[in-house]
Amino acid sequence: MNIQAPYLLFIGDATDLLSIKMARSAADWSPEKCLGEYRLPGCTVTTGFPAMSIQEAASKGAKSLVLGFANSGGFLDEVWIPTILQALDAGMDIVSGLHDKLTNVPALVKKASALGLQLIDIRHPTARFKTGTGKKRSGMRLLTVGTDCSVGKMYTSLSLTKGMQQAGLKATFRATGQSGILVCGAGVAIDCVISDFIAGATETLSPDNDADHWDIIEGQGSLSHAAFAGVSLGLLHGSQPDALVVCHALNREHMRGLKHYPLPSIEQTIELNLTHARLTNPQAKVVGIAVNTSMVDEQEALLICGQISQRTGLPCVDPIRHGVAAILERLL
């Protein structure tokens, strides 16, 4: 994909930080590519970048309008179409990570074609994949898994990759979702792969490599989520992980979007993921716990992580607050 920077991050009238995951990921992990954010009336959240109009961003050199949303169902809201058309008129490519395709909207296709601009649907892979084989591949792999959706699997994966690279180790982040693809410029949005080919696509994403090389594979969904467990399972089998890191967010009362489903415990999540990971790698092991503690203060965060570590016998950290050194020490 040829995603041109700098980006103007479009966050609409969002009121929930989780709903602008795409924009926040770019802001946090590729800030050098971001110029500002474009908000609609009623928006109560922010990426931290300055608010800009489309014309102002274009005058400062913005090359792409990034639809910064990760809404339930991945739909393209009709109210965003005028903004997208305005950005095209200002000379920007449009980048979307939604399930609904930009290229399925005739007005956008007509405008982009006339202006010689790109409509980039990064969630929709164009490669053809084969079914998985389960054959052992060279190199080493770590997969992040979760008690639920949107618990920090991508942030943890990027933190681990950065930590390993800073330590002089061979490590590559492998993006499996739209936000990760936007950050690193490559990957496969696993939730848009036909179910029969999820494991095979993951094998393609993380091929044979040097014996001392680590692929850090971004997890998706949760084996305990009634809606998304299928994607998580195919990704788990195709990753053939040597190591797993379990991700968790504090203070959730139920599975995201499913009020009638309680959250599993971290211990249940460990057991469930190891059971299924060992189909394609009998030696798979859990090497740490990553907890999103953003909703509590530092003292409570340290206390909770310490309690989880004592309970599980595994290092437990908030990757953003505490770094990942403890998990890497256990891993290596």
Q: In CATH, what number is assigned to the domain containing residue 42? A: 3.40.50.720
Order of all β-strands in the sheet with 140-146: 170-174, 213-217, 140-146, 243-249, 285-292, 316-317
Query: What CA–CA distance (Å, rounded) separates 257 from 123?
Result: 21
Residues 263 and 290 in one domain: yes
Query: What is the chain's Cα-based Rg?
Result: 20
* Average pLDDT for the chain: 95
Residues 158 and 77 in one domain: no
Query: What CA–CA distance (Å, rounded) separates 22 from 234?
Result: 23
Residues 152 and 208 in one domain: yes
Residues 98 and 163 in one domain: no
Query: Is 133 within the bounds of a domain?
Result: no
Residues 268 and 299 in one domain: yes
Query: What CA–CA distance (Å, rounded) separates 25 from 70?
Result: 11
Is the pTM above the cut of 0.85? yes
Query: What CA–CA distance (Å, rounded) separates 9 from 247?
Result: 27
Q: In this structure, are residues 210 and 107 in contact, taking their beta carbons and an 8 Å threshold? A: no
**Band of residue 70 on the pLDDT scale cut at 50, 70, 90:** confident
Select from 88, 121, 154 the last residue of a domain. Answer: 121
| pLDDT single digits (tens) 114-165 | 999 999 999 998 889 999 999 999 999 999 999 999 999 999 999 999 999 9
Query: Is 128 within the bounds of a domain?
Result: no
Give the mean model confidence (pLDDT) for residues 66-74: 83
**pLDDT exceeds 90 at position 18:** no
Residues 114 and 158 in one domain: no
What is the extent of the structural domain holding 68? 7-121
**Band of residue 71 on the pLDDT scale cut at 50, 70, 90:** confident
Q: At what angle do helices 106-115 and 81-89 cross, to 10 degrees?
A: 10
Query: Is 262 within the bounds of a domain?
Result: yes
